[in-house]
Amino acid sequence: MLERTLSIIKPDAVKAKNAGKIIEMLESNGFSIIGMKKIHLTKEQAKKFYIVHKDRPFYDSLTDFMSEGPIIVMVLEKDNAIEDYRKLMGATNPEDAEEGTIRKLFGTNIERNAVHGSDSKESASYEIGFFFNELELV
């Protein structure tokens, strides 16, 4: 079934100029980019985006990281996009990610892991709505 998911190229990967290589991987794996923007989140915006993790020990450090520099946010569309993009990203910790995945190739550690991807239909819907309105999606 055609699905949409939210992808973020995180500040580490944007700063390292890996965005082009990551976008190339998305397109060559069948994802269509139907919305895209480059923005610099405030700490407060990063905290709101990651509100599901508010009680986790890494919440403060994660939201510092996500607001330290610009990110590239995309809405991706494909059959089975949510699960397929999670597979292409690889495990949260790049050390555990499979060869050839985005996090294995471009991640540094469990926090600075290059990319974000929605983990369910519910989170995709919340996360897409957080960054885009319908008029911005083609």
Catalytic sites, residue numbers = 116
Residues 116, 89: Cα–Cα separation, whole Å: 8
Q: Nearest approach, Cβ of 62 to Mg ion (angstroms)? A: 10
Q: Extract the runs of DSSP E, i.e. beta strands, from 1-138.
A: 2-9, 32-39, 71-79, 115-117
**Per-residue x/- marks for Mg ion, 12-31, CB under 5 A?**
--------------------
Which of the listed partners (Mg ion, ligand UDP, none) does 62 bind, with a CB threshold of 5 to 8 Å by partner kind? ligand UDP
Helices and strands in the chain, H and E counts = 7, 4
Pick from 6, 36, 62, 75 the residue near ligand UDP by CB under 6 A: 62
Binding site for ligand UDP (CB under 6 A): 58, 62, 92, 110-111, 113, 116, 119
